[in-house]
Structure 1
């Protein structure tokens, strides 16, 4: 079975630390939870700078931003590459909570 490429998610350090304590990460995107959105937004390494700028370009929060590096083979829920518009660029979406042990690295952002 081929190794799946890592997927990436930008978040606030405090949100990651709270998830680490809980055992699962459940924020979909800036200000929206998995329950609200239905999935967690991720990106490929190549998409990451554009996504981070779109979501956090105006960020002036108290916490630093980090990038969660996730092994999709370890999430235990569906990971689907989907486009916002038909025929558009596809982004990875995780359809459930991300177990903290699926996060293989946490990188600083910015």
Structure 2
């Protein structure tokens, strides 16, 4: 197990940097992970991260990119529910990178 230290507290992660305990997540941890991913969090980033956390709470699974894109389009509008917009926010993959920042497990189907 790997660990990260944020605000004087240690959090366990898997070998790819995903939190192993979903309850450990908070905005301070999210900002730290975003920084390590070279993502500067904006209101648009938080919108996607919060959407992912709500989705996970409801379905108990992190959505794959296609499902994420479709679901965001339904809830937040077509201008945000497309790959170009999401990859603009999370260049290393909106599913993979956004889920990591959101403290969720890596989506199934992500390499």
Bigger strand fraction: 1
Q: TM-score, normalised by structure 1?
A: 0.27
Bigger helix fraction: 2
Q: Which has the higher contact order (CA 8 A, sep 6+)?
A: 1
Q: TM-score, normalised by structure 2?
A: 0.27
